[in-house]
Structure 1
Amino acid sequence: MQIGMVGLGKMGGKMAERLRRGGHDVVGYDRDPAVSDVSSLKELMERLQEPRAVWVMVPSGPPTHATIEELGNLMSPGDILVDGGNSHYVDDQKHGAALGAKQIGFVDCGVSGGVWGLENGYALMVGGSTENVERLMPVFDTLKPEKDGFVHAGEIGAGHFAKMVHNGIEYGMMQAFAEGWELLEASDVVTDVPGAFKSWRTGTVIRSWLLDLLVRALDEDPALEELEGYAQDSGEGRWTVQAAVDHAVPLPVITAALYARFASRQDDSPAMKVVAALRNQFGGHAVTSKEGSVAKGADSPGADVVPPVEAQK
């Protein structure tokens, strides 16, 4: 099958290569001319035979919006556009409606597999009409792993909704591994922390690819001394928590994992300043100033504390 691939970065480039290895005719476009087959989206459209299929793999948000809008002005009725980036499912519904008005098909596809997908295949979560999804099945069959790894999750938006929840679960699993590692490191009982994680890889209920990747990271840097305790988020965790609020579904683990990422970016957490100040006020717990000195607790001799009104009676 012939397909255009827009965005040939870490994911898009390897996906294009996997498709070529599978016998597909891939015409790629990227802003980097060194990896691009054509010089513009217009030339890409001219190279593809109608009815055309174009897969977009660019960063979510404004880059995706702009790319889809430009392609929508270049495509013809009967063409199909696939958004394979990490877009918000609400945006999919808007894009699908705008393209549908021009009789251009739209399919959203959540893709998981990272840099390993070229060899192992990509998990694909797809949203769109049955007709459009079936037309693209030769591409999906080549990209996915040999077993499982594909779902037609529902109508437009369903693919990215499923991927959003997948990434939310990933947040929670990663946070659990991270907290376990920190506790093991803090303990003076366990002296081989990397070995403990390796021992869990076979025969345990927490064996997983994430565990394998953590063991790999610990092999390279046993105490993770080369890394800073800062974790970015790419948006899906926030969208998952927001969707939970919209649907009144409690997500305590995923929400806590998202907030932990926010906390990782604060060298001197404002929220913890408030907590420390309140603990000092109501419980007399000592606090540490920026200069490193220990401030007097509320029950320390000489501390200027005004008791609650009830206590004064």
Structure 2
Amino acid sequence: MGQPRIGLYGLGTMGSALALNFAGRGIDIAVANREAEWLAPFLDRAGPLADRITGCADPAALVLSLPRPRLILLMIPSGAPVDAMIDTFLPLLSPGDTLIDAGNSDFHDTRRRTAALTGQGIGFVGLGVSGGEEGARNGPSMMLGGSRDSWSLLRPLLEPIAARFQGDPCVAHMGPDGAGHFVKTVHNGIEYADMQMIAEVYGLMRDGAGWGAARIGALFAEWDKGPLRSFLVETTARVLAAVDPETGQPMVDLIRDRAGQKGTGRWTVIEALRLGQSASVIEAAVAARGWSGLPRLSGAKPAGQRQFQPEQLENALQAGRLIAHLQGFGIMRAAAEEYGWPLDLARVAEIWRAGCIIRSDLLDRLAPILRGAGDGPIYLAPEAADLLSSVLPALRASVSQAVATALPVPALSAALAWADSLAQPRGTANLIQAQRDAFGRHGFERIDRPGEAHFDW
């Protein structure tokens, strides 16, 4: 057993998987957990990989097992537990050591912690990790926020354990302080939107066309061979094909219609609003999860079945997914300007192509578009505009049919509204400015002369 190169605290589902990933890539690691009794069973499960894992009884032992400068990865719940563990580790560390928070933390917390620890000579990294348990074990997508020195120390350890897309490791330095956690937050917001739109298409086929789960699952499996190929479409096909062995019914039909959420989708919407950006598709997805737990209105029933064409829905889903991604990348660009982060949006798309939950062929198409988009709006890049125009008619037709059939498609509708709003040569904001000037003297700009104007309404 060699000397550990990195320490990991927190042997929950993700922490255990990540520790095995390190060991499996030939990287010696020390591990510890709040419940020390978890160590022995974990090392037993590790099998031959246990030769590269040093079990430590407590944080002090973990620190002592590591060479300087020490690198300690926290795989614990976000919020107060992270602050508590920082307080625990801080007296044990020396200047030059680095703590890495690899949970789904609020990037504002990461910025605060970075400032506090930097003043004491301790490095702090906010590491966004996507891919769930399977990704953590076999190769996640990782977004690092921290100093360039921290990136230099961690890069030789993170690149070997990262997912790979055509040989390219799916990990990158996003920028200082909270940049990595912010990118991970937006990733999760896009994930919310993608899942919601998939669910809406499922609802149209189930309640609008009368298809059963297995038939819809087969359709998603077919779509996964084309432009919609992605982890979430593949997962949807697998989920819809599953049968409950006790009842013989599709498993999905036995699940209560109530979706949970842990907060990252909401954070994306909140930050988008703070930055003056549109996250309408993500907001609709967050809202829909909230609505799923509310009592139902009486009398609100579909107006009857309609034929929804699979090819039309496939293109509609492509359009909605594209718009959600465009909004997400727009939010990240605005955040980079606000916080001074050198975010490389094309590189973000590249490291999301494997390992993460939203990995898809669309990201492979978006990466070169983002690389050449310059400083203008991403949706105005010719390739993005052409791609959207080719699938937008299907989105309009699908949303129209859904509305006529009284079937809810909040995220797809939000995507269509975004596209239609930006396609209008002249919108209706002129009336809003007139109203604001009439009741609050907020002023407006005239189209026939420069400068701010007012009117005696």
CA distance in 2, matches of 1:71, 1:228: 42
AA matched with 1:23: G
- Shift of the 188–94 alpha-carbon distance from structure 1 to 2, 3 Å rule, reads closer
Is the 2:218–2:241 Cα contact (8 Å) retained in structure 1? no
Is the 1:18–1:142 Cα contact (8 Å) retained in structure 2? no
AA matched with 2:8: M
Q: Which residue of 1 aligns with 2:448?
A: none
**1:226 positional shift:** 2.7
User: Quick check: 1:184 aligned with 2:187?
Assistant: no
Q: Specify which of 20, 23, 34 is matched with residue 23 of structure 2.
A: 20
CA distance in 2, matches of 1:44, 1:189: 58
**1:119 positional shift:** 5.2
* Deviation by residue 1:58-108 (Cα, 9 ceiling, x = unmatched): 011111121122112221111011110000000001111111121011111
- Shift of the 143–255 alpha-carbon distance from structure 1 to 2, 3 Å rule, reads same
Q: Which residue of 1 aligns with 2:255?
A: 227
Q: Between the two proteins, what is the percent identity of the paired residues?
A: 37
Q: Which residue of 1 aligns with 2:84?
A: 66
State which structure, 1 or 2, has the greater radius of gyration over its C-alpha atoms.
Answer: 1
Is the 1:6–1:56 Cα contact (8 Å) retained in structure 2? yes
Q: Which residue of 2 aligns with 1:304?
A: none
**1:165 positional shift:** 0.4
Q: Does 1 or 2 have the higher relative contact order (CA < 8 Å, sep 6+)?
A: 2
Q: Which residue of 2 aligns with 1:247?
A: 275
Is the 1:3–1:27 Cα contact (8 Å) retained in structure 2? yes
Q: Secondary structure at the match of 2:72?
A: strand
- Shift of the 144–55 alpha-carbon distance from structure 1 to 2, 3 Å rule, reads same
User: Quick check: 1:91 aligned with 2:113?
Assistant: no
**1:238 positional shift:** 1.1
AA matched with 2:241: D
AA matched with 1:26: I
Is the 1:81–1:105 Cα contact (8 Å) retained in structure 2? yes
CA distance in 2, matches of 1:261, 1:140: 34
Q: Specify which of 4, 7, 10 is matched with residue 4 of structure 1.
A: 7
Question: Where is the helix percentage greater, Structure 1 or Structure 2?
Answer: 2
AA matched with 2:192: Y
Q: Which residue of 2 aligns with 1:194?
A: 217
Map 1:25-44; keep pairs closer than 5 Å: 25-36=28-39, 37-44=55-62
Is the 2:217–2:236 Cα contact (8 Å) retained in structure 1? no
Is the 2:160–2:169 Cα contact (8 Å) retained in structure 1? no
**1:190 positional shift:** 4.0
User: Quick check: 1:261 aligned with 2:289?
Assistant: yes
Q: Secondary structure at the match of 2:142?
A: strand
**Unaligned ranges ≥5, structure 1:** 277-313
Q: Which residue of 2 aligns with 1:217?
A: 239
Q: Specify which of 195, 202, 219 is matched with residue 174 of structure 1.
A: 195
CA distance in 2, matches of 1:95, 1:148: 28
Across the aligned residues of Structure 1 and Structure 2, the Cα RMSD in angstroms comes to 1.9
AA matched with 1:79: D
AA matched with 1:202: K
**1:118 positional shift:** 4.5
Q: Which residue of 1 aligns with 2:453?
A: none
Q: Which residue of 2 aligns with 1:105?
A: 123
**1:223 positional shift:** 5.7
**1:188 positional shift:** 4.0
CA distance in 2, matches of 1:206, 1:181: 14
CA distance in 2, matches of 1:122, 1:97: 27
Is the 2:71–2:98 Cα contact (8 Å) retained in structure 1? yes
CA distance in 1, matches of 2:210, 2:82: 50
- Shift of the 188–247 alpha-carbon distance from structure 1 to 2, 3 Å rule, reads closer
CA distance in 2, matches of 1:112, 1:130: 22
Is the 1:125–1:153 Cα contact (8 Å) retained in structure 2? yes
TM-score, normalised to structure 1's length? Answer: 0.82
The count of residues paired between Structure 1 and Structure 2 equals 271
- Shift of the 22–136 alpha-carbon distance from structure 1 to 2, 3 Å rule, reads same
AA matched with 1:5: L
Q: Which residue of 2 aligns with 1:133?
A: 151
